[in-house]
Every structure is written in structure tokens, then in C-alpha cells.
């Protein structure tokens, strides 16, 4: 069965610092991988996705993620965090028929 692990429940970074959110997945076939952001009162917003091809994926808001098959990872990165990036971030793997299996989420706090 598919599963997603986000090892960090909370992460705090200073504004302007770099960010990396970890995601590991378990999936038998070639995975479809996603990163979503959830702000209070808002629906999940897609940051980026990987289906195939270039393993470094660029997303919105300056985020990128790298698919590493050997490590079963799909870590999210941003070179310089802004205060508005504070939110909860979910990694997900696409199972059959658009079904998504989500990780537990990582809450990002940004300190000024």
C-alpha cells in the first residue's frame, strides 16, 4: 500500500533563510508526487507535482522539489522563505485514479 512520511511535524525558520521540507514515500510503481500548502480557512493549494521527466520540479511561489528514486524522497525546497510562507505543507503520492495518499503534514513557522 502507498504511504507518505513527513518526518518533521513542525519547522521554524527565519525569514530569508532557506527551507527544506522532507517527504519519503512508499509506492510500488512510478509515483506521481505532489506538494500542497494549506493556510487556515483556505483549501489545499497545489505547489508542484512530479509525474515524469526532469527530477527537479519547479513550482509556484519560488518552491522546487527534487524526486530521488533511490531515496524514495521528494523534498520541498525554497532558497529564501518569506513570512507569508507560514502554513502547513502536505506531501502526497498519487494512487490509482487520482486518489491521493497524504503525509501527516509539516507546519512551517517563519520568525522575523
| 102 lies in the binding site for other proteins (CB under 8 A) | yes
Q: Which of 29, 43, 53, 70 binds other proteins (CB under 8 A)?
A: 43
| 44 lies in the binding site for other proteins (CB under 8 A) | yes
**Considering beta carbons, is residue 15 or 101 the nearer one to other proteins?**
101
**Considering beta carbons, is residue 27 or 102 the nearer one to other proteins?**
102
- Count residues near other proteins (CB under 8 A): 19
| 105 lies in the binding site for other proteins (CB under 8 A) | yes
Indicate the DSSP class of residue 10: E
At its nearest, how many Å lie between other proteins and the CB of residue 101? 8
CB atoms within 10 A of CB 29: 8
Q: Which of 25, 35, 36, 63 binds other proteins (CB under 8 A)?
A: 36
Residue whose cell numbers read 524514495: 72
| 41 lies in the binding site for other proteins (CB under 8 A) | yes
Angle at the Cα of 45 from the Cα atoms of 54 and 77, rounded to 5 degrees:
45
Rounded to whole angstroms, the Cα distance separating 37 from 105 reads 9
- Taking the CA atoms of residue 78, residue 65, residue 56 and residue 58 in that order, the dihedral angle to the nearest 10 degrees is -60
Amino acid at each position: 500500500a502507498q504511504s507518505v512520511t513527513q518526518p518533521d511535524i513542525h519547522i521554524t525558520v527565519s525569514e530569508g533563510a532557506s527551507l527544506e521540507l522532507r517527504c519519503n514515500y512508499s509506492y510500488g510503481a512510478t509515483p506521481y508526487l505532489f506538494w500542497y500548502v494549506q493556510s487556515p480557512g483556505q483549501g489545499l493549494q497545489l505547489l508542484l507535482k512530479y509525474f515524469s521527466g526532469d527530477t527537479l520540479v519547479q513550482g509556484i511561489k519560488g518552491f522546487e522539489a527534487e524526486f530521488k528514486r533511490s531515496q524514495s524522497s521528494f523534498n520541498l525546497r525554497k532558497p529564501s522563505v518569506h513570512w507569508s510562507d507560514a502554513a502547513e505543507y502536505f506531501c502526497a503520492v498519487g494512487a490509482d485514479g487520482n486518489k491521493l495518499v497524504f503525509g501527516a503534514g509539516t507546519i512551517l513557522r517563519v520568525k522575523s
